[in-house]
Amino acid sequence: MKIKSIKAYHVVQPFVDGPYRMSKGRVADCFDAVIVAITSDSGVTGWGEMAPLGNFYSAAFPAGTRAGVPEIAPHLIGHDPRGLAGIGRLMDTVFKGHPYIKAALDMACWDLAARAADVPLVTMLGGRESETAELYRVVTHGTVDQMAALAKRIVAEGCRRVQVKVGGNVGDDIERVTAVASAMPKGTVIFCDANAGWTPYQARQFADATRGIDYTSEQPCTTIEENMSVRRMLDKPMVLDESVTSLQEMLEIHRRGAADGLTLKISRLGGVTQTRLIRDVAVDLGFMITVEDTGGAEIDTAAMAHLSLSTPEERRLHAIAFHEWVTVRTASNKPPVTGSRMGIPDGPGLGIDVVPDLLGKPFFEIG
């Protein structure tokens, strides 16, 4: 089997609930996605998606992805898409760095390989550990009243796991989290995610003032060393997200004892190949794991669901249903969500049926 053709589409995905707000005034109105279709000489097509959250969230940014895919794609023509490790090495050889650009191409190869084998992707990722994964919802940055109201709405809709965006003015964040915690029933799982928005000084201020609230601290500061300095005085679990950029960084986090859990972003790591590798090693090292991404619709969410459900349930934190965040559709089916849990679609590969007509005209095509 050989790769015969590659197409890439640019799909803007506006948010259902309006702007997504994070600390330091960072705001996004949509996921700005690149969707890739890789077709083999046997007629099987695999799909991949990469959708940055604006230009500010990480090194991944929309225009960079659109520029990079046409640089890499021609080198993949004629290669066996099932040789996933080799595809990864080839992309790293012809295009240095920028793993986010490679993520959609890697994902499409995994989907194609699983479809060609007529098995769901979860089977190739280690096997299905459970039928569904527990979902969390996000309480985005806003006023105290806005965040408390959103928290109440999320709970009323049946979700019992929330991520509260912090990382701004510490005094305001203390007030926000206190109000959100008071608005939710006892037993609601709370993650306070600063998106690396604090200095260690600010993070310690927040931790000291909120000792009476049950939550997990997520990426309070930028570097592993800064987060480690906060962890030394913290009496709560810590999860790192932005710090997990490679296998080497994950191993450094483990060596330092800098976190209890990790959030793995598919695009940040360069695709399904590296995410699976880091996930498996991290599980063996004892970390709790969340597998998600920087954004996307049905394609990317399906990949997240397959990686989540092939993670041992006792090591899995939760998942997120990004396809429910956006107003556009890219497929005729989607990862099924029932209540506060998400499964995977039936069928080989990612299990979804992408509708090319919903994607518009490709901005790049070869083969």
Task: Please say if 96 is a catalytic residue.
Answer: no
pLDDT at 29: 87
Please give the radius of gyration of the chain, using alpha carbons only, rounded to the nearest integer: 20
Dump pLDDT digits (tens) for 193-215. Answer: 999 999 999 999 999 999 999 99
Dump pLDDT digits (tens) for 257-277. Answer: 999 999 999 999 999 999 999
Dump pLDDT digits (tens) for 68-117. Answer: 999 999 999 999 999 999 999 999 999 999 999 999 999 999 999 999 99
155-173 average pLDDT score: 94
pLDDT at 141: 86
The per-residue DSSP string of 71-95 comes to HHGGGGTTS-TT-HHHHHHHHHHHS
Reported for 198-201, long-range contacts at CB under 8 A and 24+ positions apart, including other chains, are 198/166, 198/167, 198/170, 199/226, 200/226, 200/229, 200/230
Dump pLDDT digits (tens) for 297-340. Answer: 999 999 999 999 999 999 999 999 999 999 999 999 999 999 99
Task: Please say if 265 is a catalytic residue.
Answer: yes
Confidence of residue 192 (pLDDT cuts 50, 70, 90): very high
Amino acid at 41: D
Cα separation of the two ends of the chain: 15
User: Does residue 227 register a pLDDT over 80?
Assistant: yes
pLDDT at 268: 95
Candidate list 4, 102, 165, 334, residue with the active-site label = 165
User: Does residue 10 register a pLDDT over 90?
Assistant: yes
Whole-number Cα distances in Å, 255 to 89, 227, 228, 260, 289: 27, 14, 11, 12, 17
- Tell me, what DSSP letter sits at residue 238? E
pLDDT at 175: 96
Helix (H) / strand (E) containing 275: helix 272-285
Fold of 3-119+356-366: Enolase-like; domain 1 (3.30.390)
Name the 3-class secondary structure at 149: helix
Dump pLDDT digits (tens) for 54-70. Answer: 777 677 788 899 999 99
* Alpha carbon 290 to chain centroid, angstroms: 8
Averaged confidence pLDDT in the chain: 95
Q: Give Dmax (Cα) for the chain.
A: 61
Percent pLDDT > 70 in the chain is 99
Tokens of 3: 């790769």
Tokens of 88: 């990864």
Fold of 124-353: TIM Barrel (3.20.20)
pLDDT at 120: 98
Q: How do the domains of the chain map onto residue ranges?
A: 3-119+356-366, 124-353
Q: What is the rounded CA–CA span in Å between residue 183 and residue 103?
A: 39
Q: What is the pTM of this model?
A: 0.95
- Tell me, what DSSP letter sits at residue 252? H
Look at residues 126, 88, 83 and name the one whose alpha carbon lies nearest to residue 105.
88
- Tell me, what DSSP letter sits at residue 11? E
**Look-up of token digits 């640089």:** 71
* Alpha carbon 306 to chain centroid, angstroms: 12
Residue 103: partners with Cβ closer than 8 Å, 6 or more residues away? 48, 50, 266, 267, 269, 270, 271
Percent pLDDT > 90 in the chain is 91
pLDDT at 18: 83
Look at residues 56, 55, 73 and name the one whose alpha carbon lies nearest to residue 64.
55
pLDDT at 15: 92
10-20 average pLDDT score: 90
Q: Which residue(s) pair with 36 in the sheet?
A: 8, 48
Q: What is the rounded CA–CA span in Å between residue 247 and residue 243?
A: 11
pLDDT at 309: 98
Candidate list 7, 265, 334, 361, residue with the active-site label = 265
Confidence of residue 28 (pLDDT cuts 50, 70, 90): confident
337-356 average pLDDT score: 97
pLDDT at 44: 98
Look at residues 289, 309, 272, 303 and name the one whose alpha carbon lies nearest to residue 103.
272
